[in-house]
Amino acid sequence: METKLREGKGSVALRKSEPLRIRTELKAIIYLIPFLVPFAVFYLWPVLRGAWMSLHVWGIQGMEKYVAVANYKKIFANSDFYLYLWHSLYFVLLCAPTVIILGLVLALIINQNIWMRTLIRSVFFLPYVLSVSVISFIWLRLFDAKNGPVNAFLHLIGLPGDINWLTDHRFVWWAITIATDWWTVGFVMVLFLAGLQEIPTDQYEAAKIDGANAWKRFLHITLPGLSKVMKIQIFYQIISSLKLFGQVQIMTGGGPGDTTNTMIRYIYVTGFKKDMFGLASAQSMIFCFIMLLIAVIQFKMTDRKDG
Amino acid sequence: MVNMKGSILAVVMLCAFLLSGCGDSSYGGVKTEQSPAPVELSFWNPFGGGEGDFVEQIIKDYNDSQHKVFVKQLRLESNEYYARLSTALSLGKGPDVAVAHVDRLSPFIKAKQIVPLDALANRVGFEFNGIEESNRQSVSYNGQYYAVPLDTHFHMLYYNKDVLQRAELLNADGTPKLAEATPEGFIRFLQQIRDRVPGVQPMAVNTPYFQESFLDLYYEAGGELLSTDLKKAVIHNEKAVQVLAFYQQLFDRKLSDLNDKAPWDSFYNGQAGLWFGGVWEAGHHLGNSSLNVGIMPLSPIFGSSVHWGSSHTLVVPAYVTEQKQDAAMDFMKYFSEVGGAIWGQAGHVPASRAIVQSTAYQALPYRKLFVISRDHVKFAPKTDKYAALYTAISEDLQNIVQNRIEPGEGLAALEKKLDQILAN
């Protein structure tokens, strides 16, 4: 009887809440419109249009013919695709760990009560406000093999011979990584700084009393305390490293040869240099899918740990 | 009373204003006509550096010479120029008149994105007959002219007289002692520079735009990019292999620096003996008082004097209104017939026959040699896929040279790619 009563009450409550829920959701949609409209116009529509274009031969004069999945077949049969995809992933392996470690080290240093702390923080953050073209041109000059300050400095400390930073395949990825790290490390540092300031100081004091040294305090308090920020950083750095384009376009032009040609540059060249927009759209769709896959895997992994 | 005074004053002032207005119109007898606002043209071009200054001068002179049309230029970065121009032409919003290289015209014409100019030329009195025959042919499609050719541009052999003097390779008349016009003879010449003038690159090779240096010698050797029906690539052959092997020898024997990212600067700074430089660089190098430079046509080391070249032209997009089309044609006429004299000073050989034959142009340094060399230029094949073909050629040649790929193997892969583009 009681159960029945409760069921009855529940169903009455549900019936009552139905129009309320619709009204609330409608309200939510209205609030979301300022985001949804630009999202649909500038993201969803181009993606759908890109998917449509990828099924056609699409040249400078527009759509030429429908070819179904021929563009996709062509891409998977071309060894260049796998090479440039590897280049993009290789840059993730180089850049994401280095920039995160550097950012963390800088944040740890600046988090101490050191002299001119604000100035140092500003100096490291400053490059982040510059555009990719500005930083690329700066490092293009710095890495100049003949007259660049980097080689001049290496000479000064006794290194014989010039390093061809941008034309030698052994050094070129490091040159791109150094430039990118210099550009973005300030942002990583600031996020870590925010994370560090959220860790309660009494935990450190307790650890000190228990006799934990600095390394152990870092390992058992700082790192776990930064885990949420770290996850965001890793996710963000992987995605932004995969999208590498500006630095290689300006500093190396994808060279020497095609050593630094990445997926995004491959798409750009196919579309805007070769006027093969259908093929470039198919490349974009594949790369978009790969990035989404990486994002989903990352979300799943971090969700599981959080749970 | 005060109000009354105020209203009288207002009436008097109104009458005075009306009278003065009447007086103005009746006094002189002629009503002052306001000249109509000039038609404003947006002119896109990729000219930077030295060239840009000359274009700016031509635009300024044109704007000063008349008041019906006002040209405003938008100078775009040359590497991104065609990406932006193609997008603008596809979208139907962009320049009213634009520069386009002759080898880029075909797809724009096929897509009906630029207009034929015959009728427009007739309206403003522009004579295509005044343009050099080869230039005229290059812009003619199905019996109609689609662009006004401005020039022909190509490479010349620039040499540093001081370097050659030190290497004992300079004749008494100031020309290089290029005794034997063969690849072996040319390499011996460079070796002598390397041996006698240490610290100097015997020859700066245009590695950033290596395709141009390759095409210069490949065309000298009698090579072709495509079959006569333009349906197949024919770049994988013995001539191309020999040209690539020649360049690879230059890099391997330290006769040229493969890592030089700005070879034009190396030559300008006196750090190189020879340089296959564009005619557009003439003013830049000749204006350098610390550089004792000479210029001559490319040596026919691979057999003939035929070499790579291109041409700047002016086009009018199809979306431009009729009024602006007329204004654009008027500007193009001025650029060709009057501005061409200034353009010739920049180094390009003007397409206008009258300007090339003028004593002022002929008196400019080395211009007689430029004209001789101009007559051996081989333009790109007229295919609407040239942008894709050229990009593939430049990328794969970079790969072959930078990654030390065996020329035969690299060219076979390139030919396959070109065939795929042609079949697409």
Q: Which of A266, A305, A302, A250 is nearest to A135 (CA)?
A: A250
Residues B100/B315, Cβ–Cβ less than 8 Å? yes
Residue B352 pairs in a beta bridge with B131
Domain limits, chain B? 39-150+311-378, 155-309+385-423
Closest chain A residue by Cα to residue B400: A257
In Å, how far are A111, A236, B402 from A193, measured between CA atoms?
7, 17, 43
Residue contact A60–B108, C-beta within 8 A: yes
* Separation of alpha carbons B187 and B193, rounded Å: 10
Closest CB to B387 among A168, A255, A273: A273
What kind and span of H or E run contains B296? strand B293-296
Mean pLDDT over the full length of chain B: 91
Q: Please report, as a single letter, which amino acid is at residue B134.
A: S
- Judged by a CB distance cut-off of 8 A, whether residue A263 touches chain B is no
A163 — pLDDT class (breaks 50, 70, 90): very high
Q: Please report, as a single letter, which amino acid is at residue A125.
A: F
Q: Residue range B291-297: average pLDDT?
A: 96
- Judged by a CB distance cut-off of 8 A, whether residue B394 touches chain A is no
Whether pLDDT at A5 is above 90: no
* Separation of alpha carbons B208 and B404, rounded Å: 16
Burial class (CB in 10 A: 0-12, 13-18, 19+), B162: middle
Closest CA–CA distance from residue B162 to any residue of chain A (Å): 22
* Separation of alpha carbons A224 and B386, rounded Å: 58
Give, to the nearest 10 degrees, the angle between helix A79-111 and helix A227-242.
140
Mutate to test the interface with A, among B109, B402, B414 (most CBs of A within 10 A): B402
Closest CA–CA distance from residue A227 to any residue of chain B (Å): 43
Closest chain A residue by Cα to residue B384: A60
Closest CA–CA distance from residue B402 to any residue of chain A (Å): 5
Residues A163/A145, Cβ–Cβ less than 8 Å? yes
pLDDT (tens digit, 9 = 90+) per residue, A216-236? 999 999 999 999 999 999 999
Interface of B with A in 323-352 (CB under 8 A): none
Strands B39-45 and A62-66: unpaired
pLDDT (tens digit, 9 = 90+) per residue, B145-159? 999 999 999 999 999
Whether pLDDT at A300 is above 90: no
- Judged by a CB distance cut-off of 8 A, whether residue B395 touches chain A is yes
Residue contact A167–B421, C-beta within 8 A: no
Closest CB to B424 among A169, A273, A276: A276
ipTM: 0.80
Q: Which of B27, B31, B9, B8 is nearest to B19 (CA)?
A: B27
- Judged by a CB distance cut-off of 8 A, whether residue B424 touches chain A is yes
Give pLDDT, residue A2: 44
Owner of token pair 């397409």: B351
Q: Residue range B5-30: average pLDDT?
A: 44
Whether pLDDT at B1 is above 70: no
Contacts of A170 in chain B (CB under 8 A): none
Contacts of B402 in chain A (CB under 8 A): 167, 169, 255-257, 259
pLDDT (tens digit, 9 = 90+) per residue, B370-384? 999 999 999 999 898
Closest CA–CA distance from residue B260 to any residue of chain A (Å): 8
Residue B278 pairs in a beta bridge with B155
- Judged by a CB distance cut-off of 8 A, whether residue A258 touches chain B is yes
Residue contact B395–A61, C-beta within 8 A: no
What is the count of residue pairs from A and B with beta carbons less than 8 Å apart? 76
Residues A73/A288, Cβ–Cβ less than 8 Å? no
Residue contact A60–B388, C-beta within 8 A: no
Q: Which of B335, B364, B281 is nearest to B60 (CA)?
A: B335
Q: Please report, as a single letter, which amino acid is at residue B326.
A: D
| CATH fold for domain B155-309+385-423 | D-Maltodextrin-Binding Protein; domain 2 (3.40.190)
Closest CB to A273 among B112, B113, B391: B391
Residues B78/B153, Cβ–Cβ less than 8 Å? no
Q: Which structural domains are found in chain A, ordered by start?
A: 2-53 (no CATH), 72-306 (1.10.3720.10)
Burial class (CB in 10 A: 0-12, 13-18, 19+), A270: buried
Q: Which of A258, A251, A108, A253 is nearest to A183 (CA)?
A: A251
- Judged by a CB distance cut-off of 8 A, whether residue A70 touches chain B is no
Enter the tokens of residue B173.
């008349």
A1 — pLDDT class (breaks 50, 70, 90): very low
Q: Provide the sign of the torsion angle of the four alpha carbons A32, A34, A38, A41, taken in this order.
A: positive
Give pLDDT, residue A15: 52
Q: Which of A156, A164, A185, A182 is nearest to A247 (CA)?
A: A182
pLDDT (tens digit, 9 = 90+) per residue, A79-110? 999 999 999 999 999 999 999 999 999 999 99
Q: Please report, as a single letter, which amino acid is at residue B397.
A: L
Residue contact A164–B259, C-beta within 8 A: yes
DSSP state letters, B108-132? HHHTT-B---HHHHHHHT--GGGB-
Enter the tokens of residue A20.
């309320």
**Quick one: how far is CA B211 from the chain centroid?**
16
Closest CB to A167 among B112, B259, B420: B259
Closest chain B residue by Cα to residue A141: B261
DSSP state letter for A128: G
* Cα angle for residues B267, B150, B59 (degrees, 5° grid): 90
Side-chain-facing half-sphere of B57: CA atoms under 13 Å: 14
Strands in B312-315's sheet, in edge-to-edge order, are B69-75, B39-45, B97-101, B312-315, B148-149
* Separation of alpha carbons A265 and A243, rounded Å: 9
Q: Please report, as a single letter, which amino acid is at residue B41.
A: L
User: How would you write A231-273 as a 3-class SS string?
Assistant: HHHHHHHHHHHHCCCHHHHHHCCCCCCCCCCCHHHHHHHHHHH
- Judged by a CB distance cut-off of 8 A, whether residue A57 touches chain B is yes
Give, to the nearest 10 degrees, the angle between helix A277-306 and helix A79-111.
40
Mutate to test the interface with B, among A53, A61, A258, A265 (most CBs of B within 10 A): A61
Strands, E assignment, chain A: 56-59, 62-66
* Separation of alpha carbons B39 and B326, rounded Å: 10
Q: Residue range A142-146: average pLDDT?
A: 91
Residues B352/B340, Cβ–Cβ less than 8 Å? yes
Closest CB to B261 among A167, A169, A273: A167
Residue B274 pairs in a beta bridge with B159, B203
- Judged by a CB distance cut-off of 8 A, whether residue B110 touches chain A is yes
Q: What share of chain B is helix, strand, coil (3-state, %, to 5)?
A: 50, 15, 30
* Separation of alpha carbons B230 and B267, rounded Å: 37
Residues A221/A199, Cβ–Cβ less than 8 Å? yes
Residue B45 pairs in a beta bridge with B75
Closest CB to A274 among B258, B391, B403: B391
- Judged by a CB distance cut-off of 8 A, whether residue B269 touches chain A is no
Identify the three-state secondary structure at position A206: helix
DSSP state letter for A55: T
Identify the three-state secondary structure at position B307: strand
Residues B313/B100, Cβ–Cβ less than 8 Å? yes
Q: What share of chain A is helix, strand, coil (3-state, %, to 5)?
A: 75, 5, 20
Q: Please report, as a single letter, which amino acid is at residue B58.
A: I
* Separation of alpha carbons B191 and B250, rounded Å: 9
- Judged by a CB distance cut-off of 8 A, whether residue B163 touches chain A is no
Give pLDDT, residue B210: 96
Give pLDDT, residue B34: 63
Closest CA–CA distance from residue A120 to any residue of chain B (Å): 35
Residue contact A257–B402, C-beta within 8 A: yes
Q: Residue range B231-253: average pLDDT?
A: 96
Identify the three-state secondary structure at position B105: helix
- Judged by a CB distance cut-off of 8 A, whether residue B91 touches chain A is no
B17 — pLDDT class (breaks 50, 70, 90): very low
Please state, for a pLDDT cut of 90, what percent of chain B lies above it: 83
Residues B218/B299, Cβ–Cβ less than 8 Å? no
Return the CATH class of domain B39-150+311-378: alpha beta
Contacts of A279 in chain B (CB under 8 A): 424
Least confident interval from A155-164, A181-190, B170-179, B217-226: A155-164
Give pLDDT, residue B33: 55
Whether pLDDT at B26 is above 70: no
A16 — pLDDT class (breaks 50, 70, 90): low
Residue that wins the pLDDT comparison between A2 and A88: A88
Enter the tokens of residue A254.
């994808």
Residue contact A60–B107, C-beta within 8 A: yes
Please state, for a pLDDT cut of 70, what percent of chain A lies above it: 93
Residue contact A59–B107, C-beta within 8 A: yes
Residue contact A255–B421, C-beta within 8 A: no
Closest CA–CA distance from residue A184 to any residue of chain B (Å): 26
Closest CB to A258 among B258, B395, B421: B395
Contacts of B258 in chain A (CB under 8 A): 167
Residue contact B107–A276, C-beta within 8 A: no
A23 — pLDDT class (breaks 50, 70, 90): confident
Neighbours of B155 (CB within 10 A): 24
B39-150+311-378 shares its CATH topology with B155-309+385-423: yes
In Å, how far are A133, B50, B231 from A242, measured between CA atoms?
18, 38, 37
Whether pLDDT at B270 is above 50: yes
